[in-house]
Chain A
Amino acid sequence: MRPTTLRHHRRWHWGYASVPIVLLGWLVATRGVPSFVFPGPALVWRTAVQNLETATFYLNVEASLIRLALGFGMGSLLGVIIGVTQGRFEWADEAMSPFISFLQSVPPITWIPLFIILMGIGDLPIVSVVTLATIFPVAIAVNHAMRSIPKTQVWMAWALGAKNFRMLRQFYLPAILPSLASGLRVGFGIAWRTLVASEMIGGNNGIGFFIQTAGQVGNTGAVIWGIFVIGGLSLTFDALLLRRLERWHQRPSVAQSDASDTA
């Protein structure tokens, strides 16, 4: 235990130490450069403080988060359904694999012009493209996880009476959960990047739209502040949601927790 703890502390010290080093490097890099070309930390800080006092900033963040929740949520659900169907039925895998291989190789953002023509400017094309961005990494991870379950475990679940929805809920989903969590982390990263890019192209609000409009008027401080917001939110989601999800597969079952309660 001791060496692990020491290594952990050392890593944290380096993590803290790297912040002033990066800030110093940033300061040095921006010396002599006009602030409208490459702003220093002070200007970005002032812009951040001003922005945090305006309602528009929060409305932009809110719009992005709602789109992300809808797109990532629907994409994850569809990805799980597709992946489970592919993993469970050979014919479904054969039928869908060529399309999934093709579609997952296409950058999701390339769909945005078509979706804007079909759906107009607004939430719908952005949510649709975020959904599309999420589906494939999740479906591929789930399909792979389904195929990795040992055949004897599946047989044993059947022999113990599992079938239909109970088989899905109490056998397949827990069995694929570690891979699903990894697929969701990958999917989330792609969804988040696609969301910001989509808002820059076809949004009328949101963080991507905020950065785009700031760039158009030469407000580079706001551009960098927007980048910080995107990175900060992403790290927050990862720490609060996705890493916890990866640990979720070690949770006790209903019967287990009941027994613990009564013990």
Chain B
Amino acid sequence: MECEHVGFEYQRRPIFQDLSFTVEQGSWSSIVGPSGIGKTTLLYLLAGFLKPTRGQILESGSPIVGPGVSRGVVLQDLALFPWLNVLGNVSFGLDMTNMPRDQKIARAMANLAMVGLADHAHDRIDQLSGGMRQRVALARTLAIGPRILLLDEAFSALDANTRSILSIELRSIHERQHLTTILITHSIDEALAVSDRVIAINGHPAEIRGDLTVPRGEDRALLQSCHDTVLSWIA
């Protein structure tokens, strides 16, 4: 996925002016920056919900002109459909295809099982905890089989334990399904915990202030050094 000189204005105020970066296939990149900088707007641009006012965003070499099922999105507010129960939400995207019903249900149930919610398939959305809703949103997006996964503050509403468990699960799903994942977050720790690469944005209009490859392993001193580096870019 490539951003080529992307600019975006909202009510004549430039949010981005010239944003360029490339995300390698199969990698997990996190975009970090302070609150209100335009991170969510960037995700909306990558998802095709908004159109850049200049430049273009390419997916496999083709410009993105709107939302598409190859790019799965989990939004910060989750945007679950309250009139459907858990299984209805997860099978929503599959209902938009011509897949036979029994296959739709089997696939939706498999995705629910993957996020540990198979026993809650018939629960209403308002009966679920924040962490469970987050998993439903993830299962709903993964059920359509995207190649690219776009996550907006995917763990922000969760308590520390749930955040840790879900981030490990997500990383595992990312690797198993060979996804290209882009996580938008304000948390440097969260980004360093799951990503291969961290892109820091800051400023008005926002621009890339740094780009870091995250070392894998348990070297705490090295991770702390990465944390300090990213912090210096977005502080």
Contacts and interface: CB of A to CB of B under 8 A. Distances in A.
Interface of A: 150, 152-153, 155-163, 166, 170-171, 174-175, 177, 249-250, 252-256, 258-260, 262-263
Given A153-B79, A161-B69, A253-B88, A259 B95 contact: no
Contact of B83 (A156, A174, A258, A259): A174
A255 B96 contact: no
A246 B147 CA distance: 40
Contacts of A253: 84-85, 88, 91, 95
Contacts of A249: 83
A252 B85 contact: yes
Given A258-B101, A262-B105, A170 B92 contact: yes
A219 to B, nearest CB: 50
Give the one of A153, A157, A162, A253 with max B CB within 10 A.
A253
Contact of A159 (B71, B91, B121): B71
A153 B67 contact: no
Contacts of A158: 49, 66-67
Contacts of B84: 174, 252-253, 256
Interface in B67-106: 67-69, 71-73, 75, 77, 79, 81, 83-85, 87-88, 91-97, 101-102, 104-105
B11 to A, nearest CB: 16
A152 B105 contact: no
Contacts of A250: 83
Given A255-B88, A256-B122, A161 B83 contact: no
Nearest to B85: A256
* Top-9 shortest CB links A-B: A160-B93, A161-B96, A152-B79, A253-B88, A158-B67, A255-B91, A156-B79, A159-B67, A161-B69
Contact of B144 (A161, A166, A256, A260): A161
A160 B87 contact: no
Contacts of B102: 258, 262
B186 interface: no
B184 interface: no
Contacts of A157: 81, 92
Interface residues of B, number: 38
Contacts of B154: none
Contacts of B45: none
B88 A256 contact: yes
B105 A155 contact: no
Contact of B69 (A152, A159, A260, A263): A159
Interface string B97-118: 1000110110011000000000
Contacts of B69: 159-161
A158 B73 CA distance: 11
Given A159-B47, A160-B140, A170-B92, A260 B122 contact: yes
Contacts of B83: 174-175, 177, 249-250
12 contacts: A150-B79, A156-B75, A157-B92, A159-B69, A160-B69, A160-B141, A161-B69, A161-B96, A162-B93, A175-B83, A255-B105, A255-B108
Contacts of B48: 159
B79 A155 contact: yes
Given A255-B101, A259-B109, A162 B88 contact: no
A160 B101 CA distance: 17
A159 B67 CA distance: 5
A255 B140 CA distance: 14
A260 B121 CA distance: 9
B95 A153 contact: no
B49 A155 contact: yes
A249 B85 CA distance: 12
Given A160-B96, A166-B96, A253-B95, A259 B105 contact: yes
B73 A159 contact: yes
B93 A161 contact: yes
A162 B72 CA distance: 13
A255 B77 contact: no
Given A158-B49, A158-B66, A174-B83, 19 more contacts: A156-B73, A156-B75, A159-B67, A159-B72, A159-B73, A160-B69, A162-B93, A162-B96, A163-B96, A171-B81, A174-B81, A175-B83, A177-B83, A252-B84, A253-B84, A253-B88, A254-B101, A255-B88, A262-B102
